[in-house]
């Protein structure tokens, strides 16, 4: 009886109809959400379970090219560095240059080789080797060259 009285009070206040409408709205929203969920097509997962191999062949057959350069002006520095960008080994003979120009040239090439991950080493006085990051210059060869001269003609 108490339930009937509460329903009458709610009806008198106009709350009973709102409660029923709220319940109906919630049910329709749930039905719409279910429709939306069902409208999606099946999608393959983004995650790929296959592991990619990071194996690099040691037996590469890339022939290293060496260029021997005897620059006469500072302006040739950019051309020499372009050769380094193309992964070539460059032997530079600065004996024919003024000391000040040779120093500027070597500063430029040293900066470029650092930026490209390469290396600039002195073989003997006035003779330098500029190598890309993929090439390692063995110090035994460097010591042998400095002992005999660049071409072994002493």
- 24 and 76 housed in the same domain: no
Convert the pLDDT of each residue in 41-78 to its tens digit: 566 666 555 555 555 555 554 667 788 899 999 898 88
Residue 139 in contact with residue 147, Cβ under 8 Å?
A: no
- 10 and 73 housed in the same domain: no
Q: What integer is the mean pLDDT of 129-139?
A: 81
The pTM score is 0.51
Q: What is the full DSSP assignment across 61-85?
A: -PPP-EEEE--SSGGGHHHHHHHHH
- 129 and 77 housed in the same domain: yes
**pLDDT band at 111; cut points 50, 70, 90:** very high
The H or E element that residue 36 is part of is: helix 15-39
- Tally of domains within the chain: 2
Q: What is the CATH number of the domain that holds 124?
A: 3.30.110.150
Is 45 inside a domain boundary? no
According to the model, what pLDDT value does residue 37 have?
54
Percentage above 90 pLDDT, the chain: 12
Is 18 inside a domain boundary? yes
């Amino acid at each position: 009886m108490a339930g009937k009285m509460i329903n009458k009070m709610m009806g008198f206040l106009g709350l009973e109809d709102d409660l029923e409408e709220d319940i109906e709205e919630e049910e329709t929203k749930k039905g719409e959400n279910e429709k939306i969920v069902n409208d999606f097509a099946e999608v393959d997962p983004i995650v790929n379970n296959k592991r990619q191999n990071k194996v690099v062949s040691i037996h590469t057959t890339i022939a290293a090219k060496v260029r021997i350069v005897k620059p006469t002006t500072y302006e040739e520095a950019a051309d020499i560095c372009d050769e380094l960008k193309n992964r070539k080994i460059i032997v530079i003979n600065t004996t024919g240059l003024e000391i000040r120009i040779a120093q500027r040239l070597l500063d430029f090439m040293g900066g470029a080789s650092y930026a490209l991950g390469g290396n600039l080493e002195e073989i003997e006085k006035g003779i330098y080797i500029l190598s890309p990051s993929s090439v390692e210059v063995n110090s035994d060869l460097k010591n042998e060259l400095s002992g005999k001269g660049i071409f072994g003609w002493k």
